Structure 1
């Protein structure tokens, strides 16, 4: 609900602060007094197109601030949270327009772009005028409007869910098919690479191991010479083995006389003797192995050359060849088995499509039922608005399958025939200005419970009507105001009398300057304004009596 509107330096308004409450509020005044300026200012705060002509002559900038109280879970809060803006408390929209046409927008004192301001505004206020192409005048809103009227939330949720599943299944099938087509194109090369790796049969860590073997074999002569020298040194008459044995014999002769003092020394010599024997055995074994493998150098070189050539071919490290072998083998196996996998994906896609169609048909049937109810309710509302010859038809037009989406399988539009036998067509093309305003009012009355917007603004909805029709317009606006905040710019006393609040817009001269002033009328002032609207420039007692009857109907 709009709670406050602050306007600074907009056209003829220099300073204006208005406070609003629930229910129906009316704005009246002479033609040209500036009522449309108020709507232009409000539109500016709601993200409408900015025009530097709105800046008051001589001012540097125009500023408009609109404040709203919203319930928890309101759509505006979702948008604020999406933008990272604090959504607690009131929603405050501000627009600054400079004299050179530049514009800045703010939501809850945080800078936002105008597109975001407009998104917020569309969740808070709906302005209906004879030439306004937003709201119900925009066919893009008709499907959502019908679903709100019919209470199709659960059906829409199911359609959206099944459409998402179908889309995912379709994408997976398409991706697999494209991958298969690419793989088929490279199948000959893939098979050749797998056969080549099958033949090579690379092993984990093989290249590292072979490189070590090659270093050993390439230096076999020097290594054998060194090992033979070491073995000779150990086995010589004055070598380590003989020296340790001599020391053992000498100490064993006096061991008993020394108590246990020599035990650790003798044990150490025993270990040294054992280690020397093991070292001699190892040297002998290694020397035998080196001598036995001395003819493998060429074989190792050939194997390393093969592995490294394969690694260069596939632009990887040689030790990753086994991993590549497994991956290419798996791709080839998948290619050989692709027919079955594609068939499974095609089945999932078709099953998901069937689920979507089932959910979509259920939604379509519900929309047909809701459309019939809506058409009847609208026709009933049009009779007292002097549009009894008009017919309303909610049209459901099936979409091509390529256009099916999360919102269903049809396009929805509200169409009108204003005279018997005349063709049906869109609201804006078929109805005249005055008729269009009444059509929109009837739609709003019928759809009031389904409308998520808490503030409705009507600009001269009573244009071109009077008497009983104007009274019917006022009665419907008052009915709307019982559940929704409604602001109406009107020239009809029958409509103005229905307002819970009455604002009067007038021009005032301030020296050479002319300004627009807005004042809230009390009961006596309302009587005079209604009498003026009834009688014109000269207010008569008869007009005052008529105003009394409008304000206090029997």
Structure 2
């Protein structure tokens, strides 16, 4: 229900506060008094686009705040729609529009986008205005209500899931097909990269070994010459180090001084070391021969390493990581054909499933519509539209949509001999509101919208029909808020609460006042709505007394 509506600085409404609560609340006032501003406020809080300047002269912005208290299940749905949780099963919607046109929105004091505000409001209130298309003109809303009425919501949910799956699989298949040409190119290139690496068969640490071997081979002559010089100097010359050390060792060994004998032993050790060094150098000299063939092979392998490192990164870690990545990518690319085949099969199965569910859904909706139209016709007869007819148009879709594989939409004919048409095109403002009321009555148990707003639902009707409309609105308002803008006293008398809108004009400004009336003040207002005078006052008393009973 709508517990509170607060309007501040909206055009010529400086401040207004309404507390409708559960039941039927009516808003009355003279033509031009400003009743439409209340509808503007409700449309503003519903997230509708606002045309023109709406901020009044008393502040920098127009602000509307609405306090709703829906049932717990609806709170869960609202949270799913707007991602803002309820506070004690209460939702407070607030919107501010500045004089410059800047719009700001909040839900439970959490800043939200206008789209989010609209998503929440869609679950909270429904406005039937003469100047706006009926919400019920939307085929999506019609099918939702028909599903609720006929108990086909689970089938509709299953169909929508199947439809979304078809869309997802179709996009996946298109992506696979669209990327197939590029995938072939990528497959060829990845295959080339893998062959290039596998042709080298790299080994961790090998490049460093090749560098060391290459350095040794390319300087072999230099090192062999040095080794020969060492051998010559240490052991082969007549005055070689070895000869001198041998002579010194023999002579010092004969000395009477122990220290000289120690020196002789040291010379002998040095001699052995020199001979070892000479032998090693001689051996190295024999082996140090620059083999041009080996150098060429080493350089070719090093060049291959350089090329791979240039492409994949300098170092063993980068090269081997690239190798692993190429192998994995090839596996993935090679599986595209398999994935495409599987996706195409899944798409065919999902399409068939959607078609089956869609056919069943369309038939059940057709069957249930017959029951709904019968109920609606009864209510329309009560509302002095006995010749009005509600029908269902059906058209097989070449491409199924989210609502079904068959386009189904309500059509209406308000008068005999006139063509059927869509609700928004055929019915007048008053007729639209009465059709909406008839549908609301027929769907009362299924469509539990917390707040229903009717603008001039009694347009062009007399007192008897006004009373009927009032009774129907009161019936709808048993456990929710129904707000009606009216000029009919019989309807006004049926309400639990009545607000009066008055325009106050001074020399320098005009403002609208909205106040709840009761008792003698309400009696006087209904009397004025009846035309004024003693007879009107007596009739107003009778209307209010009848409603009280």
Shorter-chain TM-score range: 0.7 to 0.9
- More displaced, 15-24 or 538-547? 538-547
Alpha-carbon distance in 2 for matches of 1:171, 1:234: 85
Report the TM-score, using the length of structure 1 for normalisation.
Answer: 0.77
Alpha-carbon distance in 1 for matches of 2:326, 2:398: 42
* Closer, same or farther: CA 197–423 of 1 in aligned 2, 3 Å: same
Name the SS for the 1:535 alignment partner. Answer: coil
Alpha-carbon distance in 2 for matches of 1:43, 1:10: 12
- 1:118: how far off? 3.1
In the alignment, which residue of structure 2 is the partner of 1:28? 28
Give runs of aligned pairs for residues 82-93 of structure 1, distance below 5 A: 90-93=90-93
In the alignment, which residue of structure 2 is the partner of 1:263? none
- 1:481: how far off? 0.2
Name the SS for the 2:453 alignment partner. Answer: strand
Name the SS for the 2:418 alignment partner. Answer: coil
In the alignment, which residue of structure 2 is the partner of 1:404? 401
Name the SS for the 2:343 alignment partner. Answer: helix
In the alignment, which residue of structure 1 is the partner of 2:366? 368
* Closer, same or farther: CA 87–206 of 1 in aligned 2, 3 Å: farther
Selected match of 1:453 from 416, 426, 449: 449
Alpha-carbon distance in 2 for matches of 1:463, 1:348: 55
- Paired positions, count: 514
In the alignment, which residue of structure 1 is the partner of 2:16? 16
Give runs of aligned pairs for residues 410-489 of structure 1, distance below 5 A: 410-451=406-447, 453-489=449-485
* Closer, same or farther: CA 56–169 of 1 in aligned 2, 3 Å: closer
- 1:322: how far off? 6.5
CA RMSD of aligned residues (A): 4.2
In the alignment, which residue of structure 1 is the partner of 2:79? 77
Name the SS for the 1:482 alignment partner. Answer: coil
Alpha-carbon distance in 2 for matches of 1:332, 1:11: 68
Task: Tell me, yes or no, if the aligned pair for 1:532 and 1:543 is still in contact at 8 Å.
Answer: no
| 1:388-445 alpha-carbon deviations (Å, 9 max, x no partner) | 21111233433332x534x433434221122345332101211122221111111112
- 1:350: how far off? 1.7
Unaligned runs of 5+ in 2: 236-240, 245-275
In the alignment, which residue of structure 2 is the partner of 1:258? none
* Closer, same or farther: CA 161–103 of 1 in aligned 2, 3 Å: closer
Name the SS for the 1:17 alignment partner. Answer: strand
* Closer, same or farther: CA 301–487 of 1 in aligned 2, 3 Å: same
* Closer, same or farther: CA 208–550 of 1 in aligned 2, 3 Å: farther
| 1:126-185 alpha-carbon deviations (Å, 9 max, x no partner) | 111122125223445333333333344433443343344434433343333334323445
- More displaced, 376-385 or 140-149? 140-149
Report the TM-score, using the length of structure 2 for normalisation.
Answer: 0.78
In the alignment, which residue of structure 1 is the partner of 2:174? 174
Alpha-carbon distance in 2 for matches of 1:304, 1:465: 99
In the alignment, which residue of structure 1 is the partner of 2:349? 351
Whether 2:70 is the aligned partner of 1:96: answer: no
* Closer, same or farther: CA 334–315 of 1 in aligned 2, 3 Å: closer
- 1:521: how far off? 2.7
